[in-house]
A and B are shown apart, each in its own frame.
Chain A
Amino acid sequence: MSGARTFYRRCDSFLLGAAGLIGFVLLWEAVARLEWMDPVLISSPTHVALALKNWAFSGILLRDLATSLWELAIAFVASALVGVPLGVAMGWNRPAEYALDPFIWLLYSTPLVSFWPLFIIWLGIGTKTIIALAFLFSVVQVVINTMAGVRSIDPVLIRCARSFNARTVDLFFKFTLPGALLMIIAGLRLAVGRALIGVVIGELFSSNAGLGFHISYYGARLRFADVFAGLFMVVVVGICTTQVIRLMEARLTRWKA
């Protein structure tokens, strides 16, 4: 008895979490089976699983996944390549921060999706436009976090290094960059989530492949099992990409512990 209790104590977060998920699925299934709500509108877990299976076996899942991941990867890498240097410049140099600050904050608080039609006019419908939207979604986050990271370094450390005659280059590579690394990676982790939002919204609006396309295509045909299957895949992609960056984070920041 007490053995079971300590076992429960130790694993309660896992057990209860699993119970919550299973309970949710069962409840959903029951509501659909007993027709408390219209099964056409809410679908059911078994139908969603079936739709997922068909999607996977038809080979289209792979195509959609590849398209979305490709767009996500380009947008994310581009936002890291642009965002980190920009953020470092803004954190390093006060006038640079003051000059760029208005634009960054405006972009940060704008519902960025409103740029979508403008991108279509400039770039045409297609992958490029989706990548541009995802880039815009994620780059602001990278810039803000990188800047905060560079700013967060203890000025005493910098003064100490200076008093030992550190050159600016040394100061930059041995103090600023390692010191800011934690915040930069946290920013990248948030950015990949935002880039995913951008990719999905872009595909939702206009595309011919990808997870967002799958969702909007079947949504328009009221086949909600397929829509839920699409949403499920989006969650999977979101969790996986975030997890990859978390692993990187753990590895790169091991020296801090």
Chain B
Amino acid sequence: MNRWQRTWIGGLSVIVFLMLWELAMPLGWIKVADISQPSLVIKSFLELAATGEIFEPLVISLKEFILGFILAIIIGIPLGIVLGRYRTPSLLLDPLLMAFYTMPRMAMMPLLVVWFGVGLGATIAVVFLGAVFPILINTSVGIREIDPIWIRAVRSFGGKEWDIFKKVLLPGTVPPMMTGIRLGVGRGLLGMVVSEMYASTEGIGGQIALYGNSFRTTELIVLIAVVSLLGFIMVDLMRRLEERIRKGRMGV
């Protein structure tokens, strides 16, 4: 009953919003700016999709995103485990990491463009920088929150450091790690779009900048909707995965 209510009220409000948007321009409620219309947006989506102006850039963008994100996982998770397990390196790096974590990494764009080259290199770098910190920090916090009794238990049964890692640390840190990965997906996508809008004409961000510069609102809204939907699907997927893992754990 409750679930059903959520669906119909949510759906209704979206429909009302779309209708108001559709009527706003023809009825002259909004005169100063071009906000386009949902019907035009859908039409223009079909046209752009047919000419390949959506999916080709999207494939380029996704490739950059995935490469940067995989790099972030490869570096973020092991480093997070080390920093969570051992006190000295974590204290050593703590202020540095905090400084990086507070800094909007997107502001490094001008540097990254020169260091790694416009396009593929810079985008991978900024996706990596955006995603790696949430992953790293959540993983290490997860490790720190593991009950030390379990580690002692492994020790007292004669377990080595490797056994602790395999039997306690790795399984114990999975839920917070997933939270980090979910946050990282959002940050990484933001980095991807910023990079493409800032310095390259490739990818979906490049398309957004292109249509923005030529003041074509309808096409712009199509592209924004595509990016939004992409973000929504990816974050939602991660959230479901996270919940499933967490639930599976509760059952044990």
Chain A interface residues toward B at CB < 8 A:
12-13, 16-21, 23-24, 41, 94-95, 98-103, 105-106, 108-118, 120-122, 193, 196-197, 200-201, 204-205, 211-212, 215-216, 218-220, 222, 224, 227, 230-231, 234-235, 238-239, 242
User: How far does the Cβ of A9 sit from chain B's closest Cβ, in whole Å?
Assistant: 11
Contact A121 B227 (CB under 8 A): no
Instruction: Please tell me which one of the listed residues A100, A111, A120, A201 contacts residue B189 in the complex, with CB atoms under 8 A apart.
Output: A111
Interface assignment of B6: CB less than 8 Å from any CB of chain A:
yes
**How many Å lie between the Cα of A110 and that of B209 in the bound state?**
16
Which residues of chain B are near A234, meaning CB under 8 Å?
103-104, 107
**How many Å lie between the Cα of A215 and that of B139 in the bound state?**
32
Give me 8 other A-B pairs in contact (C-beta within 8 A), A21-B96, A105-B236, A224-B114 excluded: A20-B94, A111-B194, A111-B231, A118-B212, A122-B34, A231-B103, A231-B108, A235-B103
Which residues of chain B are near A103, meaning CB under 8 Å?
13-14, 17
A-B contact pairs, 14 of them (CB 8 A): A13-B91, A20-B92, A98-B13, A106-B228, A111-B189, A111-B231, A113-B193, A114-B227, A117-B212, A117-B220, A121-B217, A227-B110, A234-B107, A238-B103
Instruction: Please tell me which one of the listed residues A94, A116, A238 contacts residue B102 in the complex, with CB atoms under 8 A apart.
Output: A238
Chain B interface residues toward A at CB < 8 A:
5-6, 9-10, 12-14, 17, 33-35, 88, 91-96, 99, 102-104, 106-111, 113-115, 186, 189-190, 192-194, 197-198, 205, 208-209, 211-213, 215, 217, 220-221, 223-224, 227-228, 231-232, 234-236
User: How far does the Cβ of A198 sit from chain B's closest Cβ, in whole Å?
Assistant: 9
Contact B107 A200 (CB under 8 A): yes
Which residue from chain A places its CB closest to the CB of B216 in the assembled complex? A121
Which residue from chain B places its CB closest to the CB of A221 in the assembled complex? B110
Which residues of chain B are near A19, meaning CB under 8 Å?
92
**How many Å lie between the Cα of A121 and that of B235 in the bound state?**
29
Which residue from chain A places its CB closest to the CB of B189 in the assembled complex? A111
Instruction: Please tell me which one of the listed residues B17, B92, B110, B190 contacts residue A112 in the complex, with CB atoms under 8 A apart.
Output: B190
Contact A102 B10 (CB under 8 A): yes
User: How far does the Cβ of A68 sit from chain B's closest Cβ, in whole Å?
Assistant: 11
Contact B111 A114 (CB under 8 A): no
**How many Å lie between the Cα of A19 and that of B92 in the bound state?**
7
Which residues of chain B are near A118, meaning CB under 8 Å?
212, 217, 220-221, 224
Which residues of chain A are near B93, meaning CB under 8 Å?
20
Which residues of chain B are near A215, meaning CB under 8 Å?
107, 110
Also in contact, A116 and B197, with CB within 8 A (given A222-B114, A239-B102) = yes
**How many Å lie between the Cα of A177 and that of B223 in the bound state?**
40
Contact B107 A212 (CB under 8 A): yes
Contact B6 A101 (CB under 8 A): yes
Which residue from chain A places its CB closest to the CB of B188 in the assembled complex? A111
User: How far does the Cβ of A50 sit from chain B's closest Cβ, in whole Å?
Assistant: 18
Instruction: Please tell me which one of the listed residues A94, A102, A111, A212 contacts residue B192 in the complex, with CB atoms under 8 A apart.
Output: A111
Which residue from chain A places its CB closest to the CB of B204 in the assembled complex? A114
Contact A219 B197 (CB under 8 A): no
User: How far does the Cβ of A39 sit from chain B's closest Cβ, in whole Å?
Assistant: 13
User: How far does the Cβ of A69 sit from chain B's closest Cβ, in whole Å?
Assistant: 15
**How many Å lie between the Cα of A165 and that of B189 in the bound state?**
50
Which residue from chain B places its CB closest to the CB of A198 in the assembled complex? B104
Which residue from chain B places its CB closest to the CB of A110 in the assembled complex? B228
**How many Å lie between the Cα of A196 and that of B190 in the bound state?**
14
Which residue from chain A places its CB closest to the CB of B11 in the assembled complex? A102
